[in-house]
C-alpha cells in the first residue's frame, strides 16, 4: 500500500542535521578524501588569517586519540554576542551554516573558505570539537558534541555542551580548534600522515615565509614526529622541488606576477627534457585539480606569447602555421596561483574555478609580464630553447596525428585486428559494461570462458606495454597493446579524449600478484594518468584483486586474498585441509576466476582515485622516470616486505599507498 504524500511527509532538516543526513553534499565523500577535507577546512581558516596579514604561523597536530588540532597565531575567533542571534560569535561560526566573516571584504580581502559552511560542517561531522580563542589578552573556550538525544530520537549535531567560558588572562593570541571525526559517518577516521604532510608543504610554498608545522603524536620515533615548512622563495621553490627528479632544460625558473583590477596572479615555470606536462593551479590557496578559468587564461596566453616570439626571432616564417599549445607545453612544469575576491568554485570541494572575469585578466597579466621577460636580452637564450623544443614537439605531434587518424580509419573500416584480441560483451549500455584488461593469453582465456558475456568484455595483453613516462606520444601510439586499449575504450587520448564516448564504465586491470603483474599495473596506471586522466578522476579505473590462496577441505573451497585472511580461515583447523598458493591468474580455471575475481557479488575491486595531483605526478616521476636512485630510495622507504596483508614489496605497494584507493 502506497504511503500518502501530504505536508506531514515533508521533513525539515534544521541547522547541522542536514549535514549529517547528506554529508556528501558538503565534503564530497565519506571516504578518505572527505575525512581529510574536514582538516583542510580548519587549516584553510588559519591560512586565511595569514593571507590577510593577521598571522604568521599555523600548527597542525595529529593526536593519538584520532583527533586533529589546528592553531594559528591570528586574531582569535570573535567571542562577543551576535547582535541578531543573541549567542557568541564562536557559536555562530561553528553551529550555523553560511555564517562567517568572509562574505564581505572588510575582514578578508582574499579567502579560500567563502561558503561559510566549513567550520560548522566540521563540527557537524565530528564526535566532539573544542574551540579556544586567545583574544584581547583573554583565553576563551567552548566544547561541542554530537550525541544521541533520547527525546529527539536522533543524534543532535554539534551542540554546545558547555557555555563559552573565560579561562583567564593570556599573552597568547590566535585560535585553537581540535576535533574528532565521527566514526558513525566516515568509513575510516585515521588521518594519513603523507597526505597531510603534502598539503601543508603545498600551503607553505603558496604562502612565502608563513611557518607551518606538522606534529604527529602517533609516530613512535620522536625524531620524525615534528616537521616544519617555510619557504622564502614561494612557488619558485615549489617548481624546483617538483622537478627535483627530472632533468631541467635550464636551471632558470621563470617567475612573474601581476594584478588587474582585483585579480592577482603569479606563476613559476620551468622546462624539463620530459614529454609530460605538469600544470598545478590554485585559486585563493585552494588546489583546483580540475583547472578553471585561471588555467585556461594562462594556457592561451602562453601559447600566443611564444608564437609571437617564434615569429619575431624568425623560427616561424610568415607562411608557417602557428604551433599549438600542446607544443609549447611539452616538458613544462608550472605552478600558477590566482587571488580572487569572490571566487566561484564548483561545489564545496572547490575543484574548478568558474569566474569568467578571471580568464581575460590572467591572459592580460601573462602577456604583459612575459613580453617584458622575453624582451630582456639575458632571457633570449632560454626563450630560443623553448621555441626549439616546441618545434621538435610539433613534428612529433604531426606524426602522432597521422597515427591517430590512421587508427581511427582502421577502427572504423576494419576492426578485425582488435576482434581477435577483444572479446566484446553483448550489452549496449556503457554504464553497465566492464572491460577487463588481463595479463597474458592463459588468464585471458580463463576470463573469456568464465565471464558473464552480457556485460563483461575481455582484452588480453600479449606483451608488456611501453612505459609511457619515457616515450613520446607517437611511440605510445605505435605500441600494439596501447592501440588495442585505445580502440576498445573508444574515447581517444590526450587532447582528443572524450569521456562521453567511453564504451565501458568500469575498466578493470587484472594482473598476477607478483613483480611482473605489479609492473604491468604501474605501466597501465601511468598511461591512464598521463593520457586519459579523466578516466581516473571520474572513477572508472579499478584494480582486480584475485585471491592468493585456496583452502581446500572436504566441505568445499574457501579463498583468502592475503596472509591475514589465510590465518583467519585456517585458525583452529587441526588437519584435513590443503592450501594452494596461486602463482598467477592462469592457475585458476574459468569457474574459479569468475567466483573469486569477476562475479560482482563476491569479488574485490580497488578503485583508483586521485586525491592529490602534485603527489601523484611526483610519484609517477619517481617510479616510472629515468632516474634509478630516487626509485630505489622510495621503494626502500615505503615497501613493507614483511607485512602480511600487502603485496610483497612491489611497485603496486607504492601506488596503493599514494594513489587514493578504496575497495568497491
Q: Distances in Å between the alpha carbon of 102 and those of 49, 108, 622?
A: 11, 6, 40
Nearest CA-CA partner of 100 in 80, 84, 83, 78: 78
Alpha helical stretches, state H, 575-612: 590-593
Helix axes 480-489, 515-531, angle to 10 degrees: 60
Are 503 and 490 within 8 A, CB to CB?
A: yes
Q: Active site includes 182?
A: no
Q: Active site includes 262?
A: no
Cell readout for 391 is 618545434
Q: Give the list of residues 6+ apart from residue 45 with CB closer than 8 angstroms, or none.
A: 70, 72, 113, 118, 119, 175, 177
Q: Give the list of residues 6+ apart from residue 654 with CB closer than 8 angstroms, or none.
A: 619, 623, 634, 635, 638, 639
Cell readout for 163 is 557555555
Nearest CA-CA partner of 470 in 509, 518, 523, 395: 523
**Which of 237, 262, 514, 626 is an active site residue?**
514
**Which of 49, 182, 216, 439 is an active site residue?**
439
Cβ neighbours, 10 Å, residue 463: 10
Cα separation of 523 and 469, whole Å? 9
Cα separation of 341 and 103, whole Å? 10
**Which of 216, 512, 565, 648 is an active site residue?**
512
Are 175 and 71 within 8 A, CB to CB?
A: yes
Q: Give the list of residues 6+ apart from residue 580 with CB closer than 8 angstroms, or none.
A: 549, 550, 552
Question: What does the longest C-alpha to C-alpha distance in the chain come to?
Answer: 85
Q: Active site includes 591?
A: no
Counting beta carbons within 10 angstroms of the beta carbon of residue 350, is it exposed (0 to 12), middle (13 to 18) or buried (19 or more)? buried
Cα separation of 65 and 183, whole Å? 13
Counting beta carbons within 10 angstroms of the beta carbon of residue 14, is it exposed (0 to 12), middle (13 to 18) or buried (19 or more)? exposed
User: Following DSSP, what letter does each residue of 117-180 receive, concatenated?
Assistant: -HHHHHHHTEEEEEEEEEETTEEEEEEEEEEEETTTTEEEEEEESS--EEEEE-S--EEEEEEE
Q: What residue has cell string 627534457?
A: 273
Are 521 and 546 within 8 A, CB to CB?
A: no
- Please state whether beta strands 154-160 and 138-149 pair in parallel, antiparallel, or not at all (unpaired): antiparallel
- Residues forming a β-bridge with 147: 156
- Please state whether beta strands 226-229 and 174-181 pair in parallel, antiparallel, or not at all (unpaired): unpaired
Nearest CA-CA partner of 218 in 187, 198, 197: 197
**Which of 237, 357, 516, 563 is an active site residue?**
516
Q: What residue has cell string 598476477?
A: 512
Cα separation of 210 and 663, whole Å? 38
Q: Distances in Å between the alpha carbon of 343 and those of 39, 282, 298, 351, 365?
A: 21, 11, 17, 12, 18
Alpha helical stretches, state H, 451-532: 473-478, 480-489, 515-531
Q: Give the list of residues 6+ apart from residue 428 with CB closer than 8 angstroms, or none.
A: none
Q: Active site includes 369?
A: no
- Residues forming a β-bridge with 475: none
Give the residue numbers marked as catalytic: 439, 512, 514, 516
Amino acid at each position: 500500500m502506497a504511503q500518502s504524500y501530504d505536508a506531514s511527509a515533508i521533513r525539515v532538516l534544521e541547522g547541522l542535521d542536514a549535514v549529517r543526513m547528506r554529508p556528501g553534499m558538503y565534503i564530497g565523500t565519506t571516504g578518505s578524501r572527505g575525512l581529510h577535507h574536514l582538516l583542510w577546512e580548519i587549516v584553510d581558516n588559519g591560512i586565511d588569517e595569514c593571507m590577510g596579514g593577521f598571522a604568521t604561523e599555523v600548527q597542525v597536530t595529529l593526536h593519538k586519540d584520532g583527533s586533529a588540532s589546528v592553531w594559528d597565531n591570528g586574531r582569535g575567533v570573535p567571542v562577543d554576542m551576535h547582535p541578531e542571534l543573541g549567542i557568541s560569535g564562536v557559536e555562530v561560526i561553528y553551529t550555523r551554516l553560511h555564517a562567517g566573516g568572509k562574505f564581505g571584504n572588510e575582514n578578508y580581502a582574499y579567502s579560500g573558505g567563502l561558503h561559510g559552511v566549513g567550520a560548522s560542517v566540521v563540527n557537524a561531522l565530528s564526535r566532539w570539537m573544542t574551540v579556544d580563542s586567545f583574544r584581547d589578552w583573554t583565553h576563551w573556550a567552548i566544547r561541542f558534541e554530537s550525541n544521541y538525544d533520547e527525546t529527539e530520537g536522533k543524534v543532535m549535531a554539534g551542540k554546545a555542551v558547555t557555555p563559552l567560558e573565560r579561562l583567564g588572562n593570556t599573552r597568547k593570541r590566535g585560535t585553537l580548534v581540535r576535533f574528532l571525526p565521527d566514526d558513525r559517518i566516515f568509513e575510516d577516521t585515521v588521518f594519513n600522515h603523507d597526505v597531510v604532510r603534502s598539503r601543508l608543504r603545498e600551503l607553505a610554498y603558496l604562502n612565502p615565509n608563513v611557518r607551518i608545522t606538522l606534529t604527529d603524536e602517533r609516530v613512535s620515533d620522536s625524531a620524525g614526529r615534528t616537521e616544519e615548512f617555510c619557504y622564502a622563495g614561494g612557488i619558485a621553490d615549489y617548481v624546483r622541488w617538483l622537478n627535483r627528479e627530472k632533468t631541467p632544460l635550464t636551471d632558470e625558473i621563470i617567475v612573474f606576477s601581476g594584478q588587474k583590477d582585483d585579480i592577482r596572479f603569479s606563476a613559476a615555470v620551468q622546462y624539463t627534457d620530459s614529454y609530460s606536462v605538469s600544470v598545478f593551479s590554485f585559486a585563493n590557496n585552494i588546489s583546483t585539480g580540475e583547472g578553471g578559468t585561471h588555467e585556461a587564461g594562462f594556457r592561451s596566453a602562453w601559447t600566443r606569447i611564444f608564437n609571437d616570439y617564434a615569429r619575431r626571432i624568425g623560427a616561424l616564417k610568415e607562411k608557417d602555421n602557428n604551433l599549438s599549445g600542446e607544443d609549447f607545453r611539452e616538458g613544462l612544469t608550472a605552478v600558477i596561483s590566482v587571488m580572487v575576491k569572490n571566487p566561484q568554485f564548483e561545489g564545496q570541494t572547490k575543484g574548478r574555478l568558474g569566474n569568467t572575469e578571471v580568464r581575460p585578466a590572467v591572459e592580460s597579466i601573462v602577456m604583459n609580464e612575459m613580453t617584458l621577460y622575453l624582451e630582456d636580452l639575458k632571457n633570449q637564450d632560454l626563450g630560443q630553447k623553448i621555441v626549439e623544443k616546441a618545434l621538435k614537439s610539433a613534428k612529433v605531434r604531426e606524426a602522432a596525428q597521422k597515427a591517430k587518424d590512421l587508427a581511427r580509419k582502421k577502427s572504423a573500416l576494419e576492426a578485425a585486428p582488435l576482434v581477435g584480441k577483444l572479446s566484446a560483451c553483448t550489452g549496449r549500455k556503457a554504464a553497465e559494461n566492464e572491460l577487463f584488461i588481463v595479463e597474458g593469453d592463459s588468464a585471458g582465456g580463463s576470463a573469456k570462458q568464465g565471464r558473464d558475456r552480457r556485460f563483461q568484455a575481455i582484452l588480453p595483453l600479449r606483451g608488456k606495454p611501453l612505459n609511457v613516462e619515457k616515450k613520446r606520444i607517437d611511440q605510445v601510439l605505435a605500441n600494439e597493446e596501447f592501440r588495442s586499449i585505445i580502440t576498445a575504450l573508444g574515447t581517444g587520448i590526450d587532447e582528443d579524449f572524450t569521456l562521453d564516448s567511453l564504451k565501458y564504465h568500469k575498466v578493470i586491470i587484472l594482473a598476477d600478484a607478483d613483480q611482473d603483474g605489479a609492473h604491468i599495473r604501474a605501466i597501465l596506471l601511468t598511461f591512464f594518468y598521463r593520457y586519459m586522466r579523466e578516466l581516473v578522476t571520474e572513477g572508472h579505473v579499478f584494480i582486480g584483486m584475485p585471491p592468493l590462496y585456496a583452502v581446500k577441505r572436504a566441505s568445499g573451497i574457501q579463498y583468502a586474498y592475503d596472509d591475514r585472511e589465510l590465518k583467519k580461515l585456517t585458525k583452529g583447523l587441526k588437519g584435513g585441509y590443503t592450501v594452494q598458493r596461486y602463482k598467477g591468474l592462469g592457475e585458476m580455471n574459468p569457474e574459479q576466476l569468475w567466483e573469486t575475481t569477476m562475479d560482482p557479488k563476491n569479488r574485490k575491486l580497488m578503485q583508483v582515485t586521485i586525491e592529490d595531483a602534485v603527489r601523484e605526478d611526483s610519484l609517477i616521476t619517481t617510479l616510472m622516470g629515468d632516474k634509478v636512485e630516487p626509485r630505489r630510495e622510495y621503494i626502500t622507504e615505503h615497501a613493507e616486505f614483511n607485512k602480511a596483508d600487502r603485496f610483497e614489496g612491489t611497485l603496486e605497494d607504492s601506488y596503493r599507498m599514494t594513489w587514493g584507493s578504496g575497495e568497491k
